[in-house]
Amino acid sequence: MNVRRRIEVSGIVQGVGFRPYVYRLAGEHSLAGHILNTPAGVTIELQGPAASVDEFLKRLPAEAPPLAHITGILVQEIPNSREDGFEILSSERDESVRTLISPDVAVCDDCLRELFDPSDRRYLYPFINCTNCGPRFTIVRSIPYDRALTSMAGFRMCADCQAEYDDPRNRRFHAQPNACWKCGPRVELWNRDGKTIPAHDSMASTVALLDGGKIVAIKGLGGFHLAADATNQSAVELLRTRKLRVEKPFAVMVPDVAAAEAFCEVDAAARRALEGPQRPIVLLHRKPRCLIAEQVAPHNRELGLFLPYTPLHHLLFAKGNFRALVMTSANRSEEPIAIDNREAVERLHDLADFLLVHNRDILWRCDDSVVRPAASKIRQLRRSRGYVPVPMFLHEDLPPILAVGGELKNTICLAKGRHAFMSQHIGDLENLESYGFFQDVIEHFERILEIGPRVIAHDLHPDYLSTKWALAQKGVCLVGVQHHHAHIASCMAENHLEGRLIGFSLDGTGYGTDGQIWGGEVLLADYIGFERTAHFDYVPMPGGAKAIQEPWRMAVAYLAHHWGREFLSLPIPFVRQLDKREVGTILQMLARKVNSPMTSSCGRLFDAVAALVGLRTHVNYEGQAAIELEAAIGGSTDATPYPIELRAEGNTWIFDTLQLFERLFEDLRRQVPVGTISRRFHNGLVEAFVQLAVMLRDQHALERVCMSGGTFQNVFLAENLCSRLETLGFKVFTQAEVPPGDGGLSLGQIMVAAHTHYVEHRSEK
């Protein structure tokens, strides 16, 4: 007995090989019917024995193509009709289909096999791809996703490619970037002045240069990389000098997991992260006697490794002798990554010896993503290439809203319905070029997603360029969202939470509602609002932004805060080594309250401790002191937490660090190893937050805790705090798909704006 069913599939199901897949699946079960693209996804009609249709439905989501992302399947019985075989219908609507664009994806196994098959017509072709892999987001100018609106528009397919493109049974059916040696993009090797170096095989020449210790700028998927042999000390040192990037770690590409295992500890979670189609940079513990040059990631126990993701990357490793390449974003510190060939020559002239370019334009820059594998999840630190523009799926419907994020590590977010689309990593907006990029991304996202926001959410900091941009927009409703509230709302949104809960919002810097610099905040929060129930005691930041770059200033600020000038007689090395004149200036600044904004920042407390124990007086990149303090943890003999006192000030609890510093000095006097001090400090923070959580649970009957903010990139703190709380019966929520740092702010801003705006509207009526 035959049945006929209509199946509506929604999500990312177009331009990802879904129709050929369904065609094949229907064939395997000898089902009749058809498939059709619709504005919401695809509609399938199937006719055949009920058992076969059921089997088809079971396999449909389970075996879907790697790039497909199914968000819903709706099945309906309909009357039988006369239809033989299975067809892919191209409706007129097909032309104007509006659908989610897929992210860029690493070259698939089928294409890789062809790449290295001498009998294949694409043998060694650096731009081989199919519907299951290749560039997407970075080559799309506009929607619908169609070759004419991508940077492949200028390449006319040859007869062979066209035949593949038109054949529904082919892996390259409607693969928009389809290309081959005959008709597609090509690579060229340029010297640093942009002159073509005639070469019979540019790839082989490039590999020879890298083997010889040269620095080559290589055009990739979302931008240029600067490449150098990662095991060649002098090449890496040269790159560091040229890039003016004093100690910030470089990412390293290795050919495969086996190579990764030679340099770093790779467990099952790490392997999954490395091999995933998104190919993020994965932070891993380096092995002792690791052969990667020290200058790749100085003073860092982790290395950021990733596997090749374009055919071109695979060709480099196939031909070269090197087993690891530094592949760092091609830019000067904090400028956006270079994407255009001519722009690259201009900007990378002093950085690279040569450039390996090609003529497929990158339309949208997209930095490499960075993740850290954890036991159960992959935790995002920078969500960008490979993930964007896959939306975050929300638990409720939202009106069209734009959120413009923060200032550092900026991302923007556009939401509509149950989708929140977070942008790629935009960078630090204080940089003029990044600010231009920020504006372009907003415009592009609004266009390709067809979302016209009527509400714009922004940070409260009046000097953030994102805030200023938002305030200059006309005809929209503006919602200012407090920085640490946004962090917690971001965590709530990712975990689909509603209602009031305890929020631990710890980071370096965020503008508070009292105009001070917050950063060690405990909030009782829901999406609509928050109560600041506890925070670290305010201390001054002598020199403002300068205190962020120079942790020793924060150490002096804490000492002066607790002991006044008397700290100068403390018998510890840090004090003895201070420059008397500099300290004098700082103490005057503090006494006169000049250029010394008050802060409750958790990041600055880490800075102060790192400076006091002699780890770091000056930092070269954001968060460096905290990272090194965590990396120093050791000496498990004494793990007693340093005491942090909770003191009531009105309705607010203050974390008082006096006793913490007293114990720390005792340890310094007794010459306790830094590893032990760091452990006791970290444990002190854990205990203080646990104690507070227990109190808040008793007071407010809240047992859910959200943890967010850049400080939670600290694995030791995050994991220990989480497990202590869970042992005590708390439900703890953290961020994984969205970065806990400022890259995740935009999502939280969206949620707060959606809720406060809705409430305001109701009260107007």
Q: How many residues bind Zn ion (CB under 5 A)?
A: 10
Residue nearest to Fe ion (CB): 507
The yes or no reply on residue 105 touching Zn ion (CB under 5 A) is no
What residue 130 binds from Fe ion, Zn ion, none (CB within 5 to 8 A, per partner kind)?
Answer: Zn ion
Per CB under 5 A, the list member of 99, 132, 232, 505 interacting with Zn ion is: 132
The yes or no reply on residue 133 touching Zn ion (CB under 5 A) is yes
Per CB under 5 A, the list member of 32, 105, 130, 357 interacting with Zn ion is: 130
CB 115 → Zn ion: shortest distance, Å? 9
Whether residue 616 contacts residue 533, with contact meaning beta carbons closer than 8 Å, is answered with no
CB 750 → Fe ion: shortest distance, Å? 16
The yes or no reply on residue 221 touching Zn ion (CB under 5 A) is no
The yes or no reply on residue 158 touching Zn ion (CB under 5 A) is yes
The yes or no reply on residue 164 touching Fe ion (CB under 5 A) is no
Helix, strand, coil % over all residues of the chain, rounded to 5:
35, 25, 40
Backbone angles phi, psi at 458, to 5 degrees: -145, 165
CB 178 → Zn ion: shortest distance, Å? 7
What residue 133 binds from Zn ion, Fe ion, none (CB within 5 to 8 A, per partner kind)?
Answer: Zn ion
What residue 324 binds from Zn ion, Fe ion, none (CB within 5 to 8 A, per partner kind)?
Answer: none
Q: Which is nearer to Zn ion, 311 or 389 (CB)?
A: 311
Q: Is residue 545 within a helix (H) or strand (E), and if so which, with residue range?
A: helix 545-549
CB 63 → Fe ion: shortest distance, Å? 41
CB 77 → Fe ion: shortest distance, Å? 52
CB 236 → Zn ion: shortest distance, Å? 33
The yes or no reply on residue 355 touching Zn ion (CB under 5 A) is no
Q: Largest Cα–Cα distance of the chain, in whole Å? A: 95
Q: Which is nearer to Zn ion, 127 or 530 (CB)?
A: 127
- The string over 271-308, giving b where at least 16 C-beta atoms fall within 10 Å of a residue's C-beta and e elsewhere, is eebbebbbbbbbbbebeeebebbebbbeebebbbbbbb
> What whole-number distance in Å separates Cα of residue 583 and Cα of residue 147?
63
The yes or no reply on residue 112 touching Zn ion (CB under 5 A) is no
**Torsion over CA: 480, 482, 487, 492 (sign):** negative
- Give residues 499-518 in contact with Fe ion (rule: CB under 5 A): 507, 510
Task: List C-alpha distances in Å: 486 to 57, 376, 500, 523, 751.
Answer: 40, 25, 14, 11, 8
Q: Which is nearer to Zn ion, 53 or 133 (CB)?
A: 133
Is 632 exposed, middle or buried, given 0-12, 13-18 or 19+ CB atoms closer than 10 A?
buried
The yes or no reply on residue 367 touching Fe ion (CB under 5 A) is no
Segment lying near Zn ion (by CB under 5 A), choices 132-140, 227-235, 368-376, 728-736 = 132-140
β-bridge mates for residue 649, sequence order? 652
The yes or no reply on residue 182 touching Zn ion (CB under 5 A) is yes
Q: Which is nearer to Fe ion, 409 or 500 (CB)?
A: 409
> What whole-number distance in Å separates Cα of residue 479 and Cα of residue 45?
45
> What whole-number distance in Å separates Cα of residue 129 and Cα of residue 115?
10
What CA dihedral angle connects 437, 438, 441 and 446, to 10 degrees?
Answer: -150
Backbone angles phi, psi at 39, to 5 degrees: -60, -30
CB 736 → Fe ion: shortest distance, Å? 17
Instruction: Give me the half-sphere count of Cα atoms (radius 13 Å) on the Cβ side of residue 641.
Output: 17
Segment lying near Zn ion (by CB under 5 A), choices 111-119, 285-293, 490-498, 559-567 = 111-119
- Give residues 687-746 in contact with Fe ion (rule: CB under 5 A): 742
Instruction: Give me the half-sphere count of Cα atoms (radius 13 Å) on the Cβ side of residue 344.
Output: 33
Q: Which is nearer to Zn ion, 180 or 441 (CB)?
A: 180
Per CB under 5 A, the list member of 53, 101, 161, 227 interacting with Zn ion is: 161
Before 65, cis peptide (omega within 30)?
Answer: no
What residue 381 binds from Zn ion, Fe ion, none (CB within 5 to 8 A, per partner kind)?
Answer: none
Q: Which is nearer to Zn ion, 59 or 156 (CB)?
A: 156
Per CB under 5 A, the list member of 36, 149, 183, 658 interacting with Zn ion is: 183
Q: Which is nearer to Fe ion, 292 or 408 (CB)?
A: 408
- Region of 593 on the Ramachandran plot (φ > 0 left; ψ -120 to 50 alpha; else beta): left
Q: How many residues bind Fe ion (CB under 5 A)?
A: 3
> What whole-number distance in Å separates Cα of residue 606 and Cα of residue 281?
26
β strands within 13-80, DSSP E: 32-38, 41-49, 69-78
The yes or no reply on residue 108 touching Zn ion (CB under 5 A) is yes
The yes or no reply on residue 180 touching Zn ion (CB under 5 A) is yes
Alpha-helical runs (H) found in 387-482: 432-449, 465-471
The yes or no reply on residue 554 touching Zn ion (CB under 5 A) is no
Q: Which is nearer to Fe ion, 596 or 601 (CB)?
A: 601
Contacts for 80 with CB less than 8 Å, ≥ 6 apart: 2, 3, 4, 47
CB 744 → Fe ion: shortest distance, Å? 9
The yes or no reply on residue 752 touching Zn ion (CB under 5 A) is no
CB 157 → Zn ion: shortest distance, Å? 6
> What whole-number distance in Å separates Cα of residue 446 and Cα of residue 213?
44
Residue 349 CA to its chain's centroid (Å)? 28
CB 278 → Zn ion: shortest distance, Å? 15
Residue 746 CA to its chain's centroid (Å)? 12
CB 482 → Fe ion: shortest distance, Å? 11
What residue 180 binds from Zn ion, Fe ion, none (CB within 5 to 8 A, per partner kind)?
Answer: Zn ion
The count of other CB atoms within 10 Å of the CB of residue 117 is 12
> For binding to Fe ion (CB under 5 A), which residues are involved?
507, 510, 742
**By the criterion CB under 5 A, which residues form the site for Zn ion?**
108, 111, 130, 132-133, 158, 161, 180, 182-183
